[in-house]
Amino acid sequence: MSRPDSAKSAESPIDLKGQHEAIALYVRIASILKGRIVRGDWPHGAPVPGVDQLSRTYSVARATARQALQALVAEGLIVSERGRGSRVSYVKPPVSEIDGGLFRVLAPEPKGHKIVILERRHHVPLNTALFKVGVPYESYTLIRKVHLLDGIPYGYYEVSIAAELYARLPAGADGRQKLARLLASIGVEMAKGEDVLTVDSADWEEAVHLQYPMASPIARVVRVMTDRSGRIAYAANNIYRGDKFKQTRAVSGYLYVPDEPTSSQTRRNVNPVG
Protein backbone atom coordinates (compact mmCIF):
# COMPACT_ATOMS: atom_id res chain seq x y z
CA MET A 1 0.00 0.00 0.00
CA SER A 2 1.42 3.39 -0.95
CA ARG A 3 1.83 6.28 1.42
CA PRO A 4 -1.25 8.54 1.79
CA ASP A 5 -1.22 11.17 -0.96
CA SER A 6 -1.92 13.97 1.50
CA ALA A 7 1.51 13.42 3.04
CA LYS A 8 3.58 13.54 -0.18
CA SER A 9 4.13 17.30 -0.36
CA ALA A 10 7.88 17.38 0.21
CA GLU A 11 8.19 20.06 -2.52
CA SER A 12 5.64 22.31 -0.76
CA PRO A 13 6.40 22.34 2.98
CA ILE A 14 3.46 23.15 5.23
CA ASP A 15 3.88 26.29 7.36
CA LEU A 16 2.86 25.55 10.94
CA LYS A 17 3.40 29.08 12.20
CA GLY A 18 0.54 31.31 13.24
CA GLN A 19 -1.81 31.83 16.17
CA HIS A 20 -0.91 28.49 17.79
CA GLU A 21 2.83 29.08 18.12
CA ALA A 22 2.64 28.50 21.89
CA ILE A 23 1.77 24.85 21.15
CA ALA A 24 4.77 22.58 20.65
CA LEU A 25 5.49 21.76 17.00
CA TYR A 26 5.26 18.02 17.53
CA VAL A 27 1.82 18.43 19.13
CA ARG A 28 0.61 20.43 16.11
CA ILE A 29 1.87 17.78 13.69
CA ALA A 30 0.39 14.96 15.77
CA SER A 31 -3.00 16.72 15.79
CA ILE A 32 -2.98 16.95 11.98
CA LEU A 33 -2.15 13.28 11.60
CA LYS A 34 -4.67 12.26 14.25
CA GLY A 35 -7.41 14.16 12.44
CA ARG A 36 -6.73 12.21 9.25
CA ILE A 37 -6.80 8.93 11.16
CA VAL A 38 -9.97 9.58 13.17
CA ARG A 39 -11.85 10.95 10.13
CA GLY A 40 -10.96 7.79 8.23
CA ASP A 41 -8.77 9.46 5.60
CA TRP A 42 -6.13 6.93 6.61
CA PRO A 43 -7.95 3.65 7.35
CA HIS A 44 -6.88 0.82 9.60
CA GLY A 45 -3.63 -0.70 8.33
CA ALA A 46 -2.68 2.28 6.15
CA PRO A 47 0.99 3.29 6.22
CA VAL A 48 1.83 6.51 8.05
CA PRO A 49 4.49 8.93 6.77
CA GLY A 50 7.87 8.28 8.35
CA VAL A 51 10.23 10.60 10.19
CA ASP A 52 12.06 11.75 7.05
CA GLN A 53 8.87 12.50 5.12
CA LEU A 54 7.25 14.36 8.03
CA SER A 55 10.45 16.34 8.55
CA ARG A 56 10.37 17.50 4.92
CA THR A 57 6.63 18.08 4.76
CA TYR A 58 6.47 20.27 7.85
CA SER A 59 10.01 21.71 7.73
CA VAL A 60 10.89 20.46 11.20
CA ALA A 61 13.78 18.57 12.75
CA ARG A 62 13.73 14.79 12.63
CA ALA A 63 13.49 14.71 16.44
CA THR A 64 10.27 16.76 16.25
CA ALA A 65 8.76 14.44 13.63
CA ARG A 66 9.73 11.45 15.76
CA GLN A 67 7.97 12.99 18.80
CA ALA A 68 4.79 13.45 16.78
CA LEU A 69 4.75 9.77 15.83
CA GLN A 70 5.49 8.71 19.39
CA ALA A 71 2.49 10.76 20.57
CA LEU A 72 0.24 8.85 18.16
CA VAL A 73 1.67 5.54 19.37
CA ALA A 74 0.94 6.57 22.97
CA GLU A 75 -2.69 7.26 22.05
CA GLY A 76 -3.06 3.87 20.40
CA LEU A 77 -3.67 5.36 16.95
CA ILE A 78 -0.65 3.83 15.21
CA VAL A 79 1.86 1.04 15.72
CA SER A 80 5.50 1.25 14.74
CA GLU A 81 7.84 -1.60 13.88
CA ARG A 82 11.57 -1.21 13.41
CA GLY A 83 12.42 -1.49 9.75
CA ARG A 84 8.76 -1.58 8.66
CA GLY A 85 7.57 1.92 9.53
CA SER A 86 4.27 2.92 11.12
CA ARG A 87 0.73 1.86 10.30
CA VAL A 88 -2.71 2.94 11.50
CA SER A 89 -4.02 0.72 14.31
CA TYR A 90 -7.17 2.77 15.01
CA VAL A 91 -10.40 1.17 13.78
CA LYS A 92 -13.09 3.63 12.75
CA PRO A 93 -16.48 2.37 14.00
CA PRO A 94 -19.41 2.01 11.59
CA VAL A 95 -22.01 4.79 11.53
CA SER A 96 -24.83 3.08 9.64
CA GLU A 97 -26.96 2.60 12.76
CA ILE A 98 -27.22 6.35 13.39
CA ASP A 99 -29.60 7.05 10.53
CA GLY A 100 -31.92 4.43 12.06
CA GLY A 101 -32.70 6.78 14.93
CA LEU A 102 -30.05 5.89 17.49
CA PHE A 103 -29.92 9.47 18.79
CA ARG A 104 -33.64 10.24 18.74
CA VAL A 105 -34.97 10.73 22.25
CA LEU A 106 -37.77 8.15 22.21
CA ALA A 107 -36.32 5.74 19.65
CA PRO A 108 -36.26 2.13 20.91
CA GLU A 109 -32.91 0.56 21.71
CA PRO A 110 -31.64 -1.41 18.69
CA LYS A 111 -30.25 -4.92 18.79
CA GLY A 112 -26.76 -4.94 20.27
CA HIS A 113 -27.43 -1.87 22.42
CA LYS A 114 -26.13 -1.79 26.00
CA ILE A 115 -26.28 0.73 28.84
CA VAL A 116 -23.54 0.83 31.49
CA ILE A 117 -24.39 2.83 34.61
CA LEU A 118 -21.32 4.55 36.06
CA GLU A 119 -22.95 6.38 38.96
CA ARG A 120 -26.30 7.32 40.51
CA ARG A 121 -26.42 10.30 42.88
CA HIS A 122 -29.70 11.06 44.62
CA HIS A 123 -31.17 14.33 45.89
CA VAL A 124 -28.77 16.69 44.16
CA PRO A 125 -29.59 20.20 42.86
CA LEU A 126 -29.84 20.92 39.15
CA ASN A 127 -27.04 22.84 37.48
CA THR A 128 -29.15 25.84 36.47
CA ALA A 129 -26.13 27.51 34.86
CA LEU A 130 -26.22 24.79 32.20
CA PHE A 131 -29.98 24.20 31.99
CA LYS A 132 -31.91 27.46 31.68
CA VAL A 133 -35.29 26.39 30.24
CA GLY A 134 -38.14 25.89 32.70
CA VAL A 135 -38.32 25.85 36.49
CA PRO A 136 -36.34 23.18 38.39
CA TYR A 137 -37.83 20.62 40.76
CA GLU A 138 -36.60 20.65 44.34
CA SER A 139 -34.00 17.90 43.76
CA TYR A 140 -32.77 15.46 41.15
CA THR A 141 -31.19 12.08 40.63
CA LEU A 142 -28.03 12.34 38.54
CA ILE A 143 -27.22 9.32 36.39
CA ARG A 144 -23.85 9.03 34.68
CA LYS A 145 -23.78 6.31 32.04
CA VAL A 146 -22.29 5.08 28.78
CA HIS A 147 -24.25 3.70 25.82
CA LEU A 148 -22.65 1.08 23.60
CA LEU A 149 -23.64 -0.49 20.31
CA ASP A 150 -22.11 -3.85 19.41
CA GLY A 151 -19.58 -3.32 22.18
CA ILE A 152 -18.41 0.12 21.00
CA PRO A 153 -19.20 3.15 23.20
CA TYR A 154 -20.90 5.92 21.24
CA GLY A 155 -22.25 8.21 23.96
CA TYR A 156 -21.42 9.35 27.49
CA TYR A 157 -24.34 10.86 29.40
CA GLU A 158 -24.87 12.94 32.52
CA VAL A 159 -28.65 12.93 32.98
CA SER A 160 -30.62 14.63 35.75
CA ILE A 161 -34.16 13.35 36.40
CA ALA A 162 -36.50 15.03 38.89
CA ALA A 163 -36.11 12.96 42.08
CA GLU A 164 -39.84 12.44 42.62
CA LEU A 165 -40.21 11.17 39.05
CA TYR A 166 -37.14 8.93 39.24
CA ALA A 167 -38.56 7.33 42.40
CA ARG A 168 -41.51 6.10 40.31
CA LEU A 169 -39.31 4.22 37.82
CA PRO A 170 -38.86 0.44 38.18
CA ALA A 171 -35.67 -0.38 40.08
CA GLY A 172 -32.72 -0.83 37.71
CA ALA A 173 -34.75 0.04 34.61
CA ASP A 174 -32.37 2.87 33.74
CA GLY A 175 -29.73 0.23 33.05
CA ARG A 176 -31.91 -1.34 30.38
CA GLN A 177 -33.81 1.47 28.72
CA LYS A 178 -33.38 5.15 27.83
CA LEU A 179 -34.52 7.51 30.57
CA ALA A 180 -36.76 9.60 28.31
CA ARG A 181 -38.63 6.45 27.28
CA LEU A 182 -38.95 5.38 30.92
CA LEU A 183 -40.50 8.72 31.85
CA ALA A 184 -42.98 8.37 29.00
CA SER A 185 -43.83 4.84 30.17
CA ILE A 186 -44.99 6.15 33.59
CA GLY A 187 -47.15 8.83 32.01
CA VAL A 188 -44.89 11.88 32.23
CA GLU A 189 -45.86 14.15 29.34
CA MET A 190 -43.26 16.57 28.05
CA ALA A 191 -44.59 19.97 27.07
CA LYS A 192 -41.39 21.57 25.80
CA GLY A 193 -37.93 20.47 24.80
CA GLU A 194 -34.72 22.13 23.69
CA ASP A 195 -31.44 20.81 22.31
CA VAL A 196 -28.26 22.87 22.04
CA LEU A 197 -25.68 21.14 19.84
CA THR A 198 -22.04 22.22 19.88
CA VAL A 199 -18.88 20.71 18.45
CA ASP A 200 -16.16 20.20 21.04
CA SER A 201 -13.13 18.06 21.80
CA ALA A 202 -13.06 15.16 24.25
CA ASP A 203 -11.40 15.82 27.58
CA TRP A 204 -9.54 13.06 29.39
CA GLU A 205 -12.57 11.73 31.32
CA GLU A 206 -14.82 11.74 28.26
CA ALA A 207 -12.13 10.05 26.16
CA VAL A 208 -11.76 7.28 28.77
CA HIS A 209 -15.49 6.57 28.92
CA LEU A 210 -15.87 6.67 25.13
CA GLN A 211 -12.67 4.67 24.46
CA TYR A 212 -11.74 7.48 22.11
CA PRO A 213 -8.53 9.52 21.65
CA MET A 214 -8.34 12.57 23.91
CA ALA A 215 -9.01 15.91 22.16
CA SER A 216 -10.77 14.13 19.28
CA PRO A 217 -14.00 15.73 18.02
CA ILE A 218 -17.24 15.17 19.91
CA ALA A 219 -20.81 16.37 19.54
CA ARG A 220 -22.11 17.83 22.79
CA VAL A 221 -25.89 18.03 23.17
CA VAL A 222 -27.36 19.88 26.15
CA ARG A 223 -30.98 18.72 26.32
CA VAL A 224 -33.78 20.03 28.52
CA MET A 225 -37.40 18.81 28.65
CA THR A 226 -40.14 20.33 30.77
CA ASP A 227 -43.36 18.61 31.82
CA ARG A 228 -46.90 19.97 31.76
CA SER A 229 -46.27 21.88 34.99
CA GLY A 230 -43.46 23.83 33.31
CA ARG A 231 -40.82 22.23 35.53
CA ILE A 232 -37.65 20.57 34.26
CA ALA A 233 -38.28 16.82 34.36
CA TYR A 234 -35.24 15.80 32.30
CA ALA A 235 -31.94 17.59 31.75
CA ALA A 236 -28.88 16.04 30.16
CA ASN A 237 -25.37 16.77 29.03
CA ASN A 238 -24.82 14.19 26.28
CA ILE A 239 -21.42 13.64 24.69
CA TYR A 240 -21.21 11.65 21.44
CA ARG A 241 -18.11 10.40 19.66
CA GLY A 242 -17.49 12.47 16.55
CA ASP A 243 -16.88 9.35 14.48
CA LYS A 244 -20.27 7.93 15.52
CA PHE A 245 -22.48 11.01 15.47
CA LYS A 246 -24.40 11.98 12.36
CA GLN A 247 -27.39 14.27 12.08
CA THR A 248 -29.56 14.60 8.98
CA ARG A 249 -31.73 17.68 8.61
CA ALA A 250 -34.17 18.79 5.91
CA VAL A 251 -33.02 22.16 4.57
CA SER A 252 -35.83 22.97 2.14
CA GLY A 253 -36.98 25.77 4.45
CA TYR A 254 -33.67 27.56 3.90
CA LEU A 255 -34.35 27.86 0.17
CA TYR A 256 -36.88 30.62 0.76
CA VAL A 257 -36.59 34.21 1.94
CA PRO A 258 -39.39 36.64 2.80
CA ASP A 259 -40.65 38.93 0.05
CA GLU A 260 -39.90 42.63 0.24
CA PRO A 261 -41.77 44.12 3.23
CA THR A 262 -45.49 44.09 2.40
CA SER A 263 -48.68 43.10 4.12
CA SER A 264 -48.46 39.73 2.38
CA GLN A 265 -46.82 36.75 4.12
CA THR A 266 -45.97 34.94 0.88
CA ARG A 267 -42.44 33.77 0.20
CA ARG A 268 -40.43 33.56 -2.97
CA ASN A 269 -38.06 30.82 -4.00
CA VAL A 270 -34.35 31.62 -4.19
CA ASN A 271 -32.29 29.90 -6.84
CA PRO A 272 -29.03 28.99 -5.08
CA VAL A 273 -27.26 28.59 -8.41
CA GLY A 274 -27.99 32.20 -9.42
Contact call for residues 88 and 43 (beta carbons, < 8 A): yes
* Homologous superfamily, domain 98-241: Chorismate lyase-like (3.40.1410.10)
Backbone angles phi, psi at 205, to 5 degrees: -65, -45
Distance CA 162, CA 233 (A): 5
Distance CA 37, CA 130 (A): 33
Residues of the chain within CATH 1.10.10.10 domain(s) are 5-88
Residues of the chain within CATH 3.40.1410.10 domain(s) are 98-241
Cα-based angle 195, 142, 225 (whole degrees, multiple of 5): 30
pTM for this structure? 0.64
- The distance from CA 69 to its chain's CA centroid, rounded to whole angstroms, is 25
Fill in the DSSP letter of residue 112. Answer: T
Distance CA 51, CA 210 (A): 30
Say yes or no: domain 5-88 is CATH 1.10.1750.10: no
Contact call for residues 56 and 13 (beta carbons, < 8 A): yes
Distance CA 118, CA 28 (A): 34
Nearest-Å Rg of the Cα atoms of the chain is 24
Backbone angles phi, psi at 74, to 5 degrees: -60, -30
Which pairs count as long-range contacts for 124-131, CB under 8 Å and 24+ apart, including other chains?
A: 124/160, 126/160, 126/232, 126/235, 127/160, 127/235, 130/222, 130/235, 130/237, 131/160, 131/222, 131/224, 131/232, 131/235
**pLDDT digit string, tens, across residues 203-249:** 889 999 999 888 888 999 999 999 999 999 999 999 999 888 877 77
Q: How confident is the model at residue 38 (pLDDT cuts 50, 70, 90)?
A: confident
Is pLDDT at 254 greater than 50 in this prediction? Answer: yes
Across the range 137-158, mean pLDDT stands at 94
